[in-house]
Chain A
């Protein structure tokens, strides 16, 4: 393993330090896992009850929209809050196996399905496997390599990058469909050449089948069945569902971009991560992620992806513990002089916008002061 350079502190972490880092962080994880038990069960059940209540109330309010438009507006907000909880604090975390120890089949990573156009199975392969294993390794983690946006100087500029801020807004709007299509696009299922060496063991036909069946179900639900159940208020409910889906899309997309693309988040090359040690993997997770600060309700609505650093270090620890764990992680990061990226929602989002816009211009290799803003490992 090569010695690694910390740009902010100009210090090198040698193999021994990386090993010690792994021991320290394993300790944080072990301590948290020892406490996992009925507190976590009560917590996730409470959130699921809240989500169900919001969903049912939201759908009722939408129908009541014929009495007053206020009802319709409240219905949209409740339903989108329900979808956000379902996708983030429940779905995303359950699919990481955070609650598998409960042996509850309704909250198990192997059986859980969420209110999202992307099937759980596909999500687990692309997100849990590729993204979490190869975080920010350009070419292996599709977040940085998927070609829609240019977010680092690892890729050369193309004309279409000029309007990539608009592309980004469109992606945000259609976010669940972008996610659903992610794996198929990576496998070049519908067009172009299949990329060699993806190491994928998914059958292309299977991919298509799952994509069509899941997305059909989602469309049927929000745009056919629930509106039909509302009878004469068909259009109102349809538009309400559409609005709730859009709000959820904007929110999840924004939070995910804030966790990964503020300035000062590091990118890596495949070569740098060959035969990586556990300590180096941890090191990369801290450097490759960014946190958001905020009140408790904010953390819950982000699915605790506001603690992206902790989530990337400990993806299988129940997420509501991340806020507490982040205190210890920050102490450890400071001990080794590892940059720990955190800030308020607005400052982090501003820097995401800055990154998207900066790389839409034909800048080449980023050097000088700017290199500290868009660091490469």
Chain B
């Protein structure tokens, strides 16, 4: 109530929704932290894991909208960084344990460098110890399900199989560090597929296996062992019908593993999948069938490969309410938020970034699957 009143006063006196917004230019805090949308996170360490992965440890402080930060292992956060004057948000999985957070209020993100990306290759060298970033509340449902998490000592042992591919290891690292010790009635198995010598975080995984008899680690090399096969599964469980399986990795690997497990008798309800990160994008991937999701109108449409219509035209053809003006990229009336995906700017002949940003619908053509706030 008081909040509403002060905001009304701020709007009347300073034409800003909040007093905070009016004084924002004086602050060095990240804007989302200042506006109370994100938690403040201070960089503690930056550590190289292997050629293309690094870990970023952040101390989280402050409150966002009166909430205290918390997470469930397996969840991700959105990180807001400032690059060349521009705030960028990217989702990253938390790879550290709950215990680590309870101890010193830090979380670790293990990040893969997307070499064509705008953020991940740059971040590791650009960020300095002590710098403040914005962190969103934890999101996602790739967490240990209630079905597997029965603490009753009388219940029979449960089998939980984690299948990771490449950088898809990150949520499992957090899940295992947090749950193995506290759930002695669960047998955890991790099948971790990666290129030879590219298994990230394996030091702590090996140590965990040595310490706990209810955890089995299988480091597999994709060059030698290929994708996940029936033999790999049969080697770790004989009771797939009563197991829970979690998969995270490249799309192709996730699809084939999912099909395999269902064929082998795993109930669909016991299968958990995590699509992670933003797909990397190359200009060659043009002329494909694309999905355009208008998030506010709740309308999904499929765009043919040879369809080069702008987002404004697609919106209008599908009765999605969209503001427009000049229809030639001048007036910005059609400006709207792209939540994800790549669009082609037909006027500047450039491709957009993959993440969240403002675009002009009247000159933007979707190139990949896109989500638009219209």
Contacts and interface: CB of A to CB of B under 8 A. Distances in A.
Interface in A3-58: 30, 33, 36-42, 45, 48-49, 52
Given A115-B15, A129-B326, A37 B35 contact: no
B86 A133 contact: no
A157 B25 CA distance: 50
A217 B11 contact: yes
A109 B13 CA distance: 20
A124 interface: yes
Given A110-B358, A129-B333, A38 B85 contact: yes
B24 interface: yes
A103 B357 contact: yes
B335 A110 contact: yes
B13 A226 contact: yes
A226 B49 CA distance: 58
B85 A217 contact: no
A133 B326 contact: yes
Contacts of A41: 85-86
Nearest to B84: A37
Contacts of A100: 332, 335, 358
Interface string B317-337: 000000101101011110100
A372 B162 CA distance: 80
Interface residues of A, number: 46
B85 A37 contact: yes
B16 to A, nearest CB: 7
Contacts of A33: 348
A201 B15 CA distance: 26
B84 A125 contact: no
B191 interface: no
A115 B357 CA distance: 27
A103 B89 CA distance: 10
B85 A221 contact: no
Interface in B1-59: 11-13, 15-17, 21-26, 31, 35
B335 A129 contact: no
B312 to A, nearest CB: 13
Contacts of B84: 37-38
A124 B331 CA distance: 8
By DSSP majority rule, is chain A's interface helix, strand, loop, or mixed?
helix
Interface residues of B, number: 33
A125 B330 CA distance: 12
Contacts of A124: 331-333
Given A48-B25, A106-B21, A125 B86 contact: no
Contacts of B22: 52
A102 B326 contact: no
A321 interface: no
Nearest to B325: A129
A49 B87 contact: no
For A30, A106, A221, which residue has the most chain B Cβ atoms within 10 angstroms?
Answer: A106
A30 B31 CA distance: 28
A96 to B, nearest CB: 7
B88 interface: yes
Contacts of A358: none
Given A103-B87, A221-B12, A315 B357 contact: no
A101 interface: yes
A106 B16 contact: yes
B21 A128 contact: no
Given A52-B25, A102-B86, A128 B13 contact: no
A52 B19 CA distance: 12
B31 A105 contact: yes
A108 interface: yes
A139 interface: no
Contacts of A221: 12-13
A125 B333 contact: yes
Interface string A168-182: 000000000000000
A365 to B, nearest CB: 31
A110 B12 CA distance: 18
Contact of B330 (A48, A52, A102, A315): A315
Nearest to A101: B86
Interface string A97-124: 1001111111011110111000000001
A103 B23 contact: no
A109 B325 CA distance: 15
Given A48-B25, A128-B325, A221-B12, 6 more contacts: A36-B85, A103-B356, A133-B328, A133-B330, A217-B15, A226-B13
24 contacts: A33-B348, A49-B26, A52-B23, A96-B332, A97-B332, A100-B335, A104-B31, A105-B21, A106-B16, A109-B332, A109-B358, A113-B15, A125-B325, A125-B333, A128-B330, A129-B326, A129-B330, A129-B333, A132-B326, A133-B328, A133-B331, A220-B12, A226-B13, A316-B332
Q: Which 7 A-B pairs have the closest CB atoms?
A: A41-B85, A129-B325, A38-B85, A37-B84, A129-B331, A133-B326, A103-B87
